[in-house]
């Protein structure tokens, strides 16, 4: 007995791996999968045909499941009635299926995903709701792109055509709400927004839809996004056509429900097509392939076979077909890896009340996790393209076709792919082999015929006929009322800025109702930064007036095109230069005169030193030599020096000095001419640097941004700044000056300064503008009215109307032409010639050093070598040597020996004065 037992044990040890392993790997003859569809819908019918076609192809291919037959059980469910659909889906889960294809409806998919998680049955769903994710529902497998990508494609189209606001119409369920939420996120990332959202019930009545469309027609946005099902969507488009909402100026963008309907239905009426001309839609992109062509070619016979003869295939059909193949390939790998089909009842699923749901009949797929992993690891090329899941368990390379409805069909105008997240006319599959180019400049779509049969891109918005009255804030100024002010008699606003606004508004192709609201009490100028902030806070719908465009303000609001240039300038009191008998001294400053005169003397001394030993013109008595130095120095000013320079060093120094004299002489002549012919103005402030480096008070206009600018940008202490409220205060403070309680200068914007100078003639602008900018009208972020008014302002500028308004309000007086700009003093400063003087000085020093070296060498050769001098010798010896050297340097240099011999050989020649002998004093060293 023991021996028999041991034999059996040994046999079992040897046979167990093969025997039991084979048993586990044994493939069942039939495997059941389920499908939950709404069969009476277009998508449901196409999906039913696709599932049956895939099962038929799989079972006829022996290389896929290796003898196992795939069987599908289909359950028709109701998407409109959420509760009934949920009950029908739960009843279907009582059957033992290893995977489920569907459901197509997002509300049902949410419910079934919870059940699939509990029963560990992979749910191969083509519901596009973006909130369905594998993080919350591990057994949820999305087999087509989600609405995250679809809405990214729609947002890219909106951004491409530069529309900033849209209206969203959606069916009010999980699918509609979550899709529009995804669109809102994508638009926000592109600085666009949904200005109005309106939802409706899937079974809404015609009257409800009509009221919805009337409400939408009263909105300013004319770009309408339609995210619904096919039945209510078609009804809405038909009603919109009847309300003339499919005409000029409107833009309709339908999500992929429209392309799916038109692709699948072969008998769409001409009336329906004609009512949606110019509508844009998107379609999940499926690349062309042989397997896709084969499926399309046999689709007609398949649809007849499965009782859907009126339906053609669509992108949904391709993805559903590949979903079944995904399960089949995963099952094949599952069986190869030892997987087996078995179910276990879950003790937690008990129907204690004896209801008809029979929860206890639901069983858990024991190896569901293993099959799920095989599904996530599939990688094959299907009819929809590459079937492969990324790390987030989404299909790789989601892409969409951008389609325009035109004529009797659809025309593809471009593509969007998640690979570049840009629009392109290049097929997405052609981009995958290249590095992604994400430059917005590469975006392109083909031309579109828009609603109303126009090729011109719609503006995308219109001022609604029943729009509320715009509240426009206008500064109620105390000073410079020519720009904008309140008429106390009538209570209306008037001024240059008001005329520009009203004239620009008259050019708009639609009426705008508005009301001016004065901002400020009129006793002092209001603070414009507060006015701009009220626009950003939606207290005002806009703000017009003399509002300068600054960087900090553009961060809060949008400005129109500037209608007048405005840079900061400096106002300073002036005094006129009166031409007198000493006007010839004015071209040079005192320092320039002193340095120039000293340079003449220095150069004269240097030339004398270099020429003294060899040139008789620079020899003689001390008195004669001093006169020669002075005469030679100043005669070079007129290039009238008679003394010849004979040494190379002297000629080099003289050449450089004559160039310096030429520049100084020319500059003096030009400056003196200007002084004698042009009226001169003088001020203690000549520009921004003088303003910053001084410690005197500076004035600015109350309410202006100038105070903040000078503190933050110019680092000027606030204690130096003084607020001034009127032109009279400007003039008074500049007249008093800083020592009497006034200011040294005033910083203000050029338009105010020009108006001020038309009255006050003893003040001028010092220097030039040190900022550049302009005035514009402020609107809330992304306001379409801002864009149209900018275009209108440009039109006013081009047709001359803007200049006419300027001349009407801001015509300057006579004295402004004299003092509009401060003519800086024409005195030439030492700084302008410092480089020339340095070059000349360096040449003199270098020449002297070379000459000293040559003289010392000649002196050492001249002196006979004698006994060495002791270090301890007295100072008398040193002084005697110095005097001896100075005497040597002062003596005339004798001619060289060769030249002396030549002179002896010519002793028979008549004698002539030394100064007239040719070459008598040629410098040997030269």
Q: Give the pLDDT of residue 830.
A: 77
Q: Describe the crossing of helices 315-336 and 368-376 by its angle, rounded to 10 degrees.
A: 120
Please tell me which residue, 770 or 228, carries the higher pLDDT value. Answer: 228
What does the pLDDT average to over 500-523? 90
- The residues with which 395 forms a beta bridge, in sequence order, are 389
Rounded CA separation 357/912 (Å): 147
Mean pLDDT lowest among 176-180, 333-337, 815-819: 815-819
pLDDT tens for residues 22-50?
333 468 999 999 998 888 889 999 999 99
Q: Is pLDDT of 572 > 50?
A: yes
Distances 343 to 98, 376, 524, 652, 925 between C-alpha atoms, Å: 9, 22, 85, 111, 119
Helix (H, G, I), strand (E, B) or coil at 251: strand
pLDDT tens for residues 427-455?
999 999 888 888 888 899 999 999 999 99
- pLDDT confidence bin for 545, thresholds 50/70/90: very high
The reply to whether 30-143+289-347+357-387 and 147-287+399-442 are identical in fold is: yes
Task: Please provide residue 49's backbone torsions phi and psi, each rounded to the nearest 5 degrees.
Answer: -65, -45
Q: Would you list the domain boundaries of the chain?
A: 30-143+289-347+357-387, 147-287+399-442, 470-566+783-809, 583-677, 681-772
Q: Is pLDDT of 616 > 80?
A: no
Rounded CA separation 790/796 (Å): 10
In DSSP notation, 138-168 reads TTEEE-S--HHHHHHHHHHHHHHTT--EEEE
Establish how many alpha carbons lie within 13 A of residue 112's alpha carbon, considering only the half-sphere containing its beta carbon: 36
Highest mean pLDDT among 197-201, 485-489, 611-615, 781-785: 197-201
**Topology of the domain comprising 681-772:** D-Maltodextrin-Binding Protein; domain 2 (3.40.190)
Rounded mean pLDDT of the chain?
83
- pLDDT confidence bin for 562, thresholds 50/70/90: very high
- pLDDT confidence bin for 864, thresholds 50/70/90: low
Helix (H, G, I), strand (E, B) or coil at 909: coil
Q: Give the pLDDT of residue 923.
A: 43
Helix (H, G, I), strand (E, B) or coil at 558: strand
Q: Is pLDDT of 719 > 70?
A: yes
Q: Is pLDDT of 51 > 90?
A: yes
Distances 134 to 389, 393, 394 between C-alpha atoms, Å: 12, 7, 9
pTM assigned to the model: 0.67
Q: Give the pLDDT of residue 867.
A: 52
pLDDT tens for residues 239-294?
999 999 999 999 999 999 999 999 999 788 888 999 999 999 999 999 999 999 99
Q: Give the pLDDT of residue 811.
A: 72
Q: Is pLDDT of 815 > 80?
A: no
Please tell me the CATH code under which domain 147-287+399-442 is placed.
3.40.50.2300
Matching residue, tokens 């192709």 = 509
Matching residue, tokens 């859907």 = 308
Nearest to 486 by CA among 496, 475, 473: 475
Task: Please provide residue 432's backbone torsions phi and psi, each rounded to the nearest 5 degrees.
Answer: -65, -25
What does the pLDDT average to over 216-232? 92
Specify the CATH number for 30-143+289-347+357-387; select among 1.20.1600.10, 3.30.540.10, 3.40.50.2300, 2.30.40.10: 3.40.50.2300
Q: Helical H runs in 769-833?
A: 784-798, 801-809, 816-819
Task: Please provide residue 449's backbone torsions phi and psi, each rounded to the nearest 5 degrees.
Answer: -95, 115
- pLDDT confidence bin for 354, thresholds 50/70/90: low
Matching residue, tokens 């892409």 = 399
Q: Give the pLDDT of residue 656.
A: 84
Rounded CA separation 596/196 (Å): 79
Q: Is pLDDT of 857 > 90?
A: no
Q: Tokens standing for 476?
A: 């109620």
Do residues 290 and 491 lie in contact, with contact meaning Cβ atoms separated by under 8 Å? no
Q: Helical H runs in 60-129?
A: 62-65, 82-92, 106-119
pLDDT tens for residues 865-908?
555 555 455 556 666 766 766 776 666 666 554 444 444 444 44
Nearest to 277 by CA among 301, 258, 252: 252
Helix (H, G, I), strand (E, B) or coil at 379: strand
Rounded CA separation 154/157 (Å): 5
Rounded CA separation 57/45 (Å): 18
Q: Is pLDDT of 106 > 70?
A: yes
Distances 336 to 16, 67, 96, 328, 855 between C-alpha atoms, Å: 18, 13, 21, 12, 109
Strand 681-682, strand 575-576: pairing: antiparallel
Nearest to 559 by CA among 551, 569, 549, 574: 549
**Topology of the domain comprising 470-566+783-809:** D-Maltodextrin-Binding Protein; domain 2 (3.40.190)
């Amino acid at each position: 007995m023991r021996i028999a037992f041991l034999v059996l044990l040994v046999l079992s040890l040897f046979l167990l791996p093969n025997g039991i392993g084979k048993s586990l790997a044994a493939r069942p003859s039939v495997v059941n999968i389920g499908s939950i569809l709404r069969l009476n819908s277009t998508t449901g019918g196409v999906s039913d045909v696709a599932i049956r076609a895939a099962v038929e192809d799989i079972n006829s291919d022996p290389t896929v499941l290796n003898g196992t037959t795939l069987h599908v059980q289909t359950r028709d469910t109701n998407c409109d009635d959420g509760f009934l659909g949920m009950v029908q889906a739960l009843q279907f889960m009582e059957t033992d299926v290893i995977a489920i294809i569907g459901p197509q409806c997002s509300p049902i998919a949410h419910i079934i995903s919870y059940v699939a998680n509990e029963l560990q049955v992979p749910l191969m769903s083509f519901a596009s709701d973006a909130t369905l994710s594998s993080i919350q529902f591990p057994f949820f497998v999305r087999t087509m792109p989600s609405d995250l990508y679809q809405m990214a494609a729609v947002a890219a189209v909106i951004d491409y055509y530069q529309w900033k606001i849209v209206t969203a119409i959606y069916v009010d369920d999980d699918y509609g709400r979550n899709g529009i939420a995804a669109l809102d996120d994508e638009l926000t990332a592109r600085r666009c927004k949904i200005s109005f959202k309106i939802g409706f019930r899937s079974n809404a009545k015609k009257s409800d839809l009509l009221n919805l469309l009337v409400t939408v027609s009263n909105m300013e946005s004319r770009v309408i996004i339609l995210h619904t099902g096919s039945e209510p969507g078609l009804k809405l488009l038909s009603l919109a056509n009847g309300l003339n909402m499919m005409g000029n100026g409107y833009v309709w963008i339908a999500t992929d429900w429209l392309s799916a309907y038109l692709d699948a239905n072969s008998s769409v009426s001409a009336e329906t097509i004609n009512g949606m001309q110019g509508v844009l839609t998107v379609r999940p992109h499926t690349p062309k392939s042989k397997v896709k062509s084969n499926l399309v070619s046999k689709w007609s016979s398949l649809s007849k076979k499965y009782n859907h003869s009126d339906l053609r295939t669509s992108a949904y059909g391709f993805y559903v077909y590949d979903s079944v193949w995904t399960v089949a390939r995963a099952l094949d790998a599952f069986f190869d890896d030892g997987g087996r089909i078995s179910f276990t009842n879950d003790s937690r699923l008990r129907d204690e009340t004896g209801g008809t749901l029979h929860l206890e009949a639901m069983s858990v797929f024991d190896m569901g996790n293993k099959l799920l992993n095989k599904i996530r690891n599939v990688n094959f090329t299907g009819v929809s393209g590459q079937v492969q899941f990324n790390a987030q368990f989404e299909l790789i390379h989601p892409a969409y076709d951008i389609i325009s409805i035109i004529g009797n069909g659809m025309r593809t105008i471009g593509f969007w792919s998640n690979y570049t997240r840009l629009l392109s006319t290049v097929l997405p599959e052609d981009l995958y082999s290249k590095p992604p180019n994400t430059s917005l400049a590469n975006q392109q779509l083909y031309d579109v015929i828009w609603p109303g049969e126009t090729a011109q891109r719609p503006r995308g918005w219109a001022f609604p006929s029943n729009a509320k009255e715009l509240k426009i804030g206008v500064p109620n100024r105390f000073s410079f009322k020519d720009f904008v002010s309140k008429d106390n008699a009538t209570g209306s606003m008037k001024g240059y800025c008001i005329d520009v606004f009203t004239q620009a508004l008259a050019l708009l192709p639609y009426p705008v109702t508005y009301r001016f609201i004065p901002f400020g009490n009129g006793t002092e100028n209001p603070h414009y930064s507060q006015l701009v902030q009220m626009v950003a806070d939606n207290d005002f719908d806009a703000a017009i007036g003399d509002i300068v465009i600054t960087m900090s303000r553009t961060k809060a609001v949008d400005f129109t095109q500037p209608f007048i240039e405005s840079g900061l300038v400096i106002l300073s009191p002036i005094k006129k230069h009166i031409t007198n008998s000493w006007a010839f001294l004015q071209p040079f400053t005192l320092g320039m005169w002193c340095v120039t005169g000293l340079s003449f003397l220095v150069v004269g001394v240097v030339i004398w030193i270099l020429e003294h030993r060899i040139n008789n013109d620079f020899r003689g008595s001390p008195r004669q030599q001093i006169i020669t130095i002075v005469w030679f120095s100043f005669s070079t000013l007129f290039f009238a020096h008679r003394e010849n320079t004979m040494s190379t060093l002297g000629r080099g120094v003289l050449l450089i000095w004559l160039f310096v004299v030429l520049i100084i002489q020319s500059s003096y002549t030009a400056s003196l001419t200007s002084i004698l012919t042009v009226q001169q103005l003088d001020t203690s402030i000549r520009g921004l640097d003088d303003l910053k480096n001084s410690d005197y008070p500076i004035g600015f206009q109350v309410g202006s941004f100038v105070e903040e600018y000078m503190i933050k940008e110019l680092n000027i202490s606030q204690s130096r700044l003084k607020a001034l409220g009127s032109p009279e205060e400007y003039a008074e403070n500049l007249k008093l000056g800083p020592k009497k309680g006034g200011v040294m200068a005033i910083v203000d914007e050029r338009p105010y300064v020009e108006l001020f100078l038309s009255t006050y003639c003893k003040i001028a602008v010092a220097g030039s503008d040190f900022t550049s900018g302009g005035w514009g009208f402020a609107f809330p972020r992304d306001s379409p009215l801002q864009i149209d008014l900018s275009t209108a302002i440009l039109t006013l500028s081009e047709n001359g109307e803007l200049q006419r308004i300027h001349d009407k309000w801001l015509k300057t007086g006579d004295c402004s032409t004299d003092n509009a700009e401060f003519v800086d003093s024409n005195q030439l400063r030492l700084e302008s010639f410092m480089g020339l003087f340095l070059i000349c000085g360096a040449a003199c020093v270098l020449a002297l050093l070379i000459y000293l070296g040559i003289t010392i060498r000649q002196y050492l050769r001249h002196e006979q070598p004698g006994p060495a001098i002791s270090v301890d010798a007295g100072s008398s010896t040193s002084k005697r040597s110095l005097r001896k050297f100075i005497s040597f340097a002062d003596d005339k240099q004798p001619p060289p020996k060769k030249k002396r011999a030549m002179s002896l050989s010519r002793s028979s020649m008549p004698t002539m004065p030394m100064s007239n002998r040719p070459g008598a004093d040629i410098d040997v060293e030269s």
